[in-house]
Amino acid sequence: MRAGTVLVARPDGMGDVLLSGPAVRAVARHADRVVYLAGPRGAGAARMLPGVDRVITCTVPWIAADPPPVDPVRVRRLVRLLAGLGIDRAVLPTSFHQSPLPLALVLRMAGVPWNGAISEDYPGSLLDVRHRVEEGLPETERMLSLVRACGMEPAPGDDGLPAVRGPLPDTRGLTGPDGYTVVHTGSDAPARAIPVSKAGEIVAALRARGGRVVLTGSAEEADRVPRAHGDPGVVVLAGRTRLPELAGVLSRAAAAVCGNTGPAHLAAAVRTPVVSLFSPVVPAAVWAPRGSRVRVLGDQGARCAGSRARVCPVPGHPCLSGVSPESVLAAVDEIREDR
C-alpha cells in the first residue's frame, strides 16, 4: 500500500539533513511524493537528497539554535501552507534533545491525519506512532529506526549511508586537477570548528610534502581560513561556492579534513575520505560522518565532552589543539589507502 504524500521534517542544519538521507530514501520507496520541511541552514542539503520531491523552508522556534520569538501569525501561516500540501503522513525524525510534539500539534492543526515520531514525552493524540530508541544510536540509524517503525523499510541493498543526487557540477575550473586535499575549518558552532592556528599547521604539513590544498568555507567563515600568502599550491574558495559546487569540489578531492560540521557529512555523502577533527561536545559515536573511510581525531574524553557547548568552555580548545599535523597526515594516508 502506497503512503501517498509524506512529509519528512528535520528543520536543522546541513549535517542533520544529510544524515536523514537514508531515512528519506526509505520513505520515498513507499510514498508517491516526499515533501521535506527544512530550516534555512538545511534547505540546500534537502534539495540534494535522493527521493525528495519538494522542499519547504521554515524557521521553527522550538528547533533553531538562535530562536526567534513565537509569532502566532507565522505559525498560522505555516498551518495554512501545510494544509495545502495534501499530506497523508508525516514523519518527524528529530534529534534526541528535541521534541517533535510542537510540530506534531501544528500538523494536526493543518489536518494531517497521521504522525510518527520518536518521543519520550507523552504525546496524547498528537502521534499515531510513538517510537522509542536506545540512547547513543548513530543519528542515521536512529532516524532509520523511526521510519521502519512507521512501516517503511529501506530498499534491499540500500547501504544506509548518506548520499546526494547527481550529477554534481564540474568544479575543475575552480580547483584545477583532481587529487587535492580539502581543508574546511569552519562550523556553525565555534566549539566544533578547527582552530585557525591548527588548520594553518595542517595546510603547511600538506604543502611540505607537495600536496595541493583547497580551502573551503562560507563567506562568513573567511576569517577562519588560513592565509595562503600567494602559494600556488593552495586554492582559497571560502565564500565562492554554493552547496552543489561545494559537493563537486569535495567529490574530486583525495581526502577532506574537517571539523564537526556539515561539509564533513557532505564529503562522506559524495564518498570522499574524511579526517574529522571532532570536538567531543557531542559524541562522535552518534554524530561523526558515516562511512567506512572516516577517521576521527581529537581527545574524545576532554573536559568539554557531552557538554553540547557551542563555544568552547575550556581555554585553548585542548581537545583539538593537541592533534598533531603528523597524525592528520597519517590519517589522510590511511583512508586514501582504503580505496
Does residue 184 share a domain with residue 111? no
Q: How far apart are CA 321 and CA 188, in angstroms?
A: 19
Does residue 208 share a domain with residue 93? no
Does residue 203 share a domain with residue 252? yes
pLDDT digits (tens, 9 = 90+) for 156-179: 999 999 999 999 999 999 999 999
Contact (Cβ atoms closer than 8 angstroms) between residue 181 and residue 161? no
Considering 117, 149, 181, which residue would you say is the last residue of a domain?
A: 149
Is 198 domain-assigned?
A: yes
**What pTM was computed for the model?**
0.95
What's the domain range around 101?
5-149
Looking at the structure of the chain, the number of domains it has is 2
Minimum mean pLDDT range among 36-50, 55-69, 216-230, 250-264:
216-230
pLDDT digits (tens, 9 = 90+) for 319-328: 998 999 999 9
Does residue 217 share a domain with residue 118? no
Q: What is the CATH number of the domain that holds 305?
A: 3.40.50.2000
- pLDDT reading at 339 higher than 70: no
Does residue 67 share a domain with residue 204? no
Is 305 domain-assigned?
A: yes
Q: How far apart are CA 273 and CA 213, in angstroms?
A: 15
Does residue 211 share a domain with residue 105? no
Does residue 197 share a domain with residue 133? no
N- to C-terminal Cα separation, the chain: 40
- pLDDT reading at 65 higher than 90: no
Is 34 domain-assigned?
A: yes
Q: How far apart are CA 196 and CA 186, in angstroms?
A: 9
Does residue 311 share a domain with residue 184? yes
Is 70 domain-assigned?
A: yes
Is 156 domain-assigned?
A: no
Contact (Cβ atoms closer than 8 angstroms) between residue 172 and residue 30? no
Nearest to 267 by CA among 285, 243, 237: 243
Alpha helices in the chain (DSSP H): 14-19, 21-30, 43-47, 72-83, 101-109, 139-149, 172-175, 196-208, 243-251, 262-269, 284-287, 318-321, 325-337
Considering 102, 117, 149, which residue would you say is the last residue of a domain?
A: 149
Is 161 domain-assigned?
A: no
Q: Residue 78 burial (CB < 10 Å; 0-12/13-18/19+)?
A: buried
Does residue 133 share a domain with residue 79? yes
Contact (Cβ atoms closer than 8 angstroms) between residue 199 and residue 321? no
Does residue 133 share a domain with residue 23? yes
Considering 149, 182, 197, which residue would you say is the last residue of a domain?
A: 149
Is 137 domain-assigned?
A: yes
Q: Residue 180 burial (CB < 10 Å; 0-12/13-18/19+)?
A: buried
Does residue 176 share a domain with residue 43? no
pLDDT digits (tens, 9 = 90+) for 282-317: 999 999 999 889 999 999 999 999 999 989 888 888
Does residue 105 share a domain with residue 240? no
| Mean per-residue pLDDT, 179-208 | 92
pLDDT at 228: 76
Is 155 domain-assigned?
A: no
Q: How far apart are CA 320 and CA 199, in angstroms?
A: 10
